[in-house]
Amino acid sequence: MPHVTKKITIPEFKKRKKTGERVTMITVYDFPMARLVDRSPAEMILVGDSLGMVFQGLEHTNPVTLDEIIYHAKAVRRGAPTTLVVGDMPFMSYQVSSEQGLTSAGRIIKESGADCVKLEGGTYMAPSVERIVKAGIPVIGHIGLTPQSASALGGFKVQGNTLEEAEKLIADARALDEAGVFAMVLECIPAGVAKVITETVSAITIGVGAGTHVNGHNLNAYDILGLFDAFVPKFVKQYKHLAPEILDGFTTFTQSVRSGVYPSEDQIFTGGELITQRYPTE
């Protein structure tokens, strides 16, 4: 069914917390994917720095630049005019100072047309979040497994397993909530911890491997469609398995070219008789 409703606003998102209506965020990086999400019922698109690993084939998200996020967010914005677009703030585009964070967030909004930004970090990032929010830019927080600092966290693994870690996550969530985020991503944390955070904060919680007691969920389009199969995290459910079908399409095309089946008469522009008469061939 075509997605014909108008783009949801931030205040309307906040109401979802009270009504209990769950939100859906899908991560995409390009115009064709964005067009499809825009025609779906999903309310949000994240242009994530995960593009470094999924789209560029890098080993980490950290090499992704602010200019690259803006480039991809522009394409997504053009493809999804009726969906709320979130621009991810890449590594070292906001960690230096609150001023740097505000400048980077402003560039994403101004140059790409995104509706809001997302940044990683808890209590220590709250001053930067507050500065950005006060400038009129909506912010989504991100705690738990934060890929930009995965090395410091011991790799891509579940966070908040100990009481001390869980308490820190709850404190981080409260700090972000007080700083003014309208939503926060909870990535790879135990379901019980996510439940406490969801019940503690006024912001919408969006789970990425955070159990069922959250206000919404985010998955990458490439995971949903079974296109990125190099590594499938535990929290991912592949709703389609398109990689084998695409591979079969590429293979069939190659074989048809080699055998001369492609192009057929249906794919050929007819005409040119006058020039062929002038240059006859044997």
Q: Which amino acid is at 49?
A: D
Question: What confidence tens digit (pLDDT) does each residue in 144-203 have?
Answer: 998 787 565 565 678 888 999 999 999 999 999 999 999 999 999 999 999 999 999 999
Query: Given a cut of 70, is residue 246 above it in pLDDT?
Result: yes
Query: Given a cut of 90, is residue 275 above it in pLDDT?
Result: no
Q: What does the pLDDT average to over 216-239? A: 88
Three-class secondary structure of residue 106 per DSSP: helix
Phi, psi (deg, nearest 5) at residue 217: -140, 155
Rounded-to-integer distance, Cα 226 and Cα 33, Å = 14
> Would you give the distance in Å from CA 29 to the centre of its chain?
7
Question: What confidence tens digit (pLDDT) does each residue in 70-99 have?
Answer: 999 999 999 999 999 999 999 999 999 999
Q: What does the pLDDT average to over 5-15? A: 84
Please give the mean pLDDT across all residues of the chain: 92
Q: What is the enclosing helix (H) or strand (E) of 24?
A: strand 23-27
Q: What is the pLDDT of residue 152?
A: 57
pTM, entire model: 0.92
**Looking at domain 10-242, which of 3.20.20.60, 2.40.37.20, 3.40.50.2000, 3.40.50.300 is its CATH number?**
3.20.20.60
Q: What is the pLDDT of residue 234?
A: 80
The answer to whether residues 54 and 220 touch, using CB atoms and an 8 Å cutoff, is yes
For a pLDDT cut of 70, what percent of the chain falls above it? 94
Q: What is the pLDDT of residue 280?
A: 79
Query: Which one, of 187, 188, 171, lies nearest residue 88 by Cα?
Result: 187
Question: What confidence tens digit (pLDDT) does each residue in 120-150 have?
Answer: 999 999 999 999 999 999 999 999 998 787 5
Reported as a pLDDT band with limits 50, 70 and 90, residue 3 is: very low
Domain regions of the chain by residue span: 10-242, 245-278
Q: What is the pLDDT of residue 210?
A: 95
- Catalytically annotated residue among 12, 187, 245, 265: 187
Q: What is the pLDDT of residue 156?
A: 61
Q: What is the pLDDT of residue 155?
A: 58
Q: What is the pLDDT of residue 75?
A: 98
Q: What is the pLDDT of residue 240?
A: 92
- Whether 187 is catalytic is yes
